[in-house]
């Protein structure tokens, strides 16, 4: 009985501290091998849906078994961090950037908060063996978030929270501490097909819940290192880095509220740059505008390639 009380108290303390650190939603799932998800991932890889993202086929067992990442893992803590903003690029003709990349690279911002949460657990609950993850290791983030009950995976394969939408970064703590586990929630996509209908490159399957990554605009503008295939000419919807189309049309994002994170505010010049300025962007301007941004991942030449392809 005492052990159950402790687990309940610890779970509550971790949830409260995570929310104090800025994570709006927190859920807990038992760390175990993901049988169903493993079969689905294997099928996705076999069909070549990962394109040239070869890292997706690496460390397969680590992706589907958290105990391979943290010895003795008992719990996967899933967390959601808001990045939504109502701010937009002023020139409607300018090539577009996904909202998540407006500000400082989320990896740095969220990793720091995750480490603070891990320190809190060690200082206030127990010494734990644990690791922090922010889209930086072989972890099936959306599947764990689904298991932890903080949303369902929509037809666009993004995690959707019923009261807050999908403009969220996902993060995890995998720890060797027994806690009280949450349960998956219902899928509320229903008969809606807006994301499927709106996808400019038809990357989402007709039934939904399945995305051909090699057709996704985010893949083409960020992950793909070689020339963008000519077959996508005129289908990029003017996106030069990432794509928000399937989120923009999702009815659940009517509940999105702007974040209040100074680090995610865009560089002053970013939203004001006009189409011509983007087309003529120099490496100096690129370095200034995207100094600590996730856009640096595509590098100056990669962004230039994307902008030229849109022309």
Catalytic residues: 135
Place of tokens 């990554």: 213
CA–CA distance, 127 with 113 (Å, rounded to integer): 18
CA–CA distance, 249 with 9 (Å, rounded to integer): 40
Q: Specify the DSSP element, H or E, that contains 188.
A: none
CA–CA distance, 173 with 31 (Å, rounded to integer): 11
Local structure of residue 104 (DSSP, 8 states): B
Residue 134, judged by CB atoms within 10 A of its CB (0-12, 13-18, 19+), counts as: buried
**Pair 198, 246: CB distance under 8 Å:** yes
296 φ/ψ angles, rounded to the nearest 5 degrees: -60, -20
Residue 136, judged by CB atoms within 10 A of its CB (0-12, 13-18, 19+), counts as: exposed
CA–CA distance, 65 with 10 (Å, rounded to integer): 24
Contacts of residue 108, Cβ cutoff 8 Å, sequence gap at least 6: 292
CA–CA distance, 9 with 124 (Å, rounded to integer): 11
**Pair 51, 158: CB distance under 8 Å:** no
Place of tokens 């849906």: 49
């Amino acid at each position: 009985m005492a052990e159950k009380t402790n687990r309940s108290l610890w779970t509550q303390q971790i949830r409260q501290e995570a929310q104090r650190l800025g994570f709006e939603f927190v859920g807990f799932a038992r760390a175990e091998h993901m049988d169903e998800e493993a079969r689905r991932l294997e099928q996705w890889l076999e069909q070549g849906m990962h394109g040239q993202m070869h890292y997706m086929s690496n460390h397969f067992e680590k992706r589907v078994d958290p105990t391979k990442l943290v010895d003795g893992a008992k719990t996967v803590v899933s967390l959601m961090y808001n990045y939504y903003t109502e701010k937009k690029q002023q020139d409607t003709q300018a090539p577009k950037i996904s909202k998540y990349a407006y500000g400082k690279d989320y990896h740095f911002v969220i990793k720091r908060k995750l480490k603070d949460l891990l320190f809190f657990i060690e200082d206030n609950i127990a010494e734990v063996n644990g690791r922090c993850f922010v889209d930086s290791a072989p972890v099936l983030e959306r599947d764990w978030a689904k298991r932890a009950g903080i949303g369902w995976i929509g037809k666009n394969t993004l995690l959707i929270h019923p009261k807050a939408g999908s403009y969220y970064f996902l993060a995890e703590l995998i720890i060797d501490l027994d806690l009280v586990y949450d349960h998956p929630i219902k899928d509320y996509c229903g008969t809606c097909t807006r994301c499927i209908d709106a996808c400019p490159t038809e990357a989402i399957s007709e039934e939904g819940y399945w995305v051909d990554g090699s057709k996704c605009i985010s893949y083409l503008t960020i992950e793909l290192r070689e020339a963008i295939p000519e077959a996508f000419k005129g289908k990029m919807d003017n996106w030069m880095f990432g794509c928000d189309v399937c989120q923009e049309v999702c009815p659940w994002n009517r509940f999105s509220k702007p974040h209040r994170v100074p680090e995610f505010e865009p560089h002053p010049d970013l939203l004001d740059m006009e189409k011509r300025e983007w087309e003529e962007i120099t490496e100096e301007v690129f370095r200034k505008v995207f100094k600590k941004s996730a856009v640096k991942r595509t590098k100056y030449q990669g962004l230039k390639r994307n902008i030229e392809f849109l022309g």
